Structure formats: C-alpha cells, structure tokens
Amino acid sequence: MGDRMSEYVALTGISDHVISELKQNRLLTIEIRSPHNFFAAMDLKTGDLIFLTRTSPDDLTGGNTGIIAKLVKNQLSTYRVMQSGEMYYEEREMTTLRLQLDPRCIARVRKVLNNRIGTISKVDAEEIPLYNAQ
C-alpha cells in the first residue's frame, strides 16, 4: 500500500441495500438518477475503479468508508414517462445510467480531493484489510 495516491471517482448517497449487496461480493447493476452521481459516472469507462459510499455528498470527509468496485458495463437509457388524468396529459423524458459493478474491496477515504457542487466528486482512498473492517 504505502503512501501511493489512489484516486477514485466517488458516487455518494448510495443506498444501504446496494452497499450491503456489494459487500457480499455480488456483481450488481445499479441505476443512477441523482444529478451529482449521474455526471460523475457519465465519463467512466469499462474497467475503471470507483468508490461508492452511503455518505451524502455534504458529509463526505476523510475516514468515511465505502466499497471500491470495478465498472463492468455502463448503459445510458432514456425513456418516456406518461401520466394522464381526467383533465391533463403529461409526458416527460427520464434519463438514467445503469452501471454493472464488480466489487473489489472495502476502503476508507484518506482525503476528499474534490466535492464541489457541479463537479465530479473524487477521493483518495485506501483498501481496508478485512480484519479492520466493521
């Protein structure tokens, strides 16, 4: 390990369910809808390693834990949502990003490198040996 910098794009506010599935070493496909994670994940390429945490973007600091996962596949989907009632008809588009993730290890944030609104969240994180993990 050493002092080598390990920089990861961070996806924040991920549900407890997703985090626990990843902790069980399961290949998992998640759907990203929140703007801060959507833009962070847009430029990811197959094979990239990313850091996922349940911590909200506002609370992200050194010491937070999460999962490092490898991006297996990503797919951008746009679909129409239609609603109607007696007096109205509404149509809107929704775009989501589906990420298939292969979990690698539990990790702890050493330092938050970028977390400004409208930019991609990035962290420097280190792998936590299993005997130290909660």
Q: What is the domain range of residue 30? A: 7-125
Q: Please check whether residue 2 lies inside any domain of the structure.
A: no
Q: Please check whether residue 84 lies inside any domain of the structure.
A: yes
- The 3 state secondary structure assigned to the chain is CCCCCCEEEEECCCCHHHHHHHHCCCCEEEEECCHHHHHHHHCCCCCCEEEECCCCHHHCCCCCEEEEEEEEEEEEEEEEEEEECCCCEEEEEEEEEEEEEEEEEEEEEEEEEECCCCCCCEEEEEECCHHHCC
Q: Please check whether residue 105 lies inside any domain of the structure.
A: yes
Average pLDDT taken over every residue of the chain = 89
Structurally, how many domains does the chain consist of? 1
pLDDT above 70 covers a percentage of the chain that reads: 93
pTM, full prediction: 0.85
For 33-82, what is each residue's pLDDT tens digit?
A: 888 899 889 989 999 999 999 999 889 999 999 999 999 999 998 888 88
Q: Please check whether residue 130 lies inside any domain of the structure.
A: no
What CATH number does the domain containing 100 carry? 2.30.130
Q: Please check whether residue 133 lies inside any domain of the structure.
A: no
